[in-house]
């Protein structure tokens, strides 16, 4: 092989490697899909959003139906105000609920919407009133340890 041909092959390899790195970076940042399509906006208030981030998935029955567009603190209620973009092809009854769920044991958090049975559907800009906050692993561990310490204290203080 000539030296020029080897240099071209190495150059192609470097370009392919750079394209792969860009693809992985977009996937890791959850930016791989640039097309948003027709959507409508919903909002939900949560007492604790845990590690939920903007651009997190919104899912129903495990199917991705939208994205979290923004997260802010409501200055009146001191709750996390989450704004969602949902595909227009998917409409939910007004008594639907939203939960912050975790993908796997320690995976990314996302919003899960469970449909209700109301005859009226949400329209853009409405608030989902039935919400369930994120389960924070540190709080669960703290409660477990506190309960174990309380049990040990009550057993040690009892006389036989």
* Three-point CA angle 58, 60, 62, nearest 5°: 95
pTM greater than 0.75 (yes/no):
no
Q: Residue range 13-20: average pLDDT? A: 92
* Three-point CA angle 97, 100, 104, nearest 5°: 130
The domain locations on the chain are: 1-32, 39-142
Instruction: Tell me what pLDDT residue 110 has.
Output: 94
Instruction: Tell me what pLDDT residue 127 has.
Output: 94
Residue 159 scores a pLDDT above 70: no
Contacts of residue 39, Cβ cutoff 8 Å, sequence gap at least 6? 66, 85, 86, 87, 88
CA distance 138 to 135: 9
Instruction: Tell me what pLDDT residue 53 has.
Output: 93
* Three-point CA angle 89, 91, 95, nearest 5°: 170
Give pLDDT tens digits for 89-120: 999 999 999 999 988 777 789 999 999 999 99
């Amino acid at each position: 092989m000539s030296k020029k041909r080897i240099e071209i092959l190495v150059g192609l390899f470097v370009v392919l490697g750079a394209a792969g790195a860009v693809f992985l970076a977009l996937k890791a940042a959850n930016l791989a899909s640039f097309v948003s399509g027709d959507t409508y906006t919903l909002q939900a208030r949560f007492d604790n959003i845990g590690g939920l981030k903007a651009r997190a998935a919104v899912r129903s029955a495990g199917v991705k139906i939208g994205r979290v567009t923004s997260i802010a603190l409501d200055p009146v209620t001191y709750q996390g105000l989450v704004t969602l973009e949902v595909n227009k092809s998917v409409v939910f009854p007004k008594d639907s609920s939203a939960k912050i769920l975790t993908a796997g044991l320690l995976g990314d958090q996302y919003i899960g919407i469970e449909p209700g049975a109301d005859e009226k559907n949400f329209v853009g800009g409405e608030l989902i009133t039935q919400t369930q906050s994120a389960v924070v692993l540190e709080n669960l561990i703290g409660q477990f340890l506190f309960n174990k310490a309380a049990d040990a204290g009550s057993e040690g203080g009892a006389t036989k």
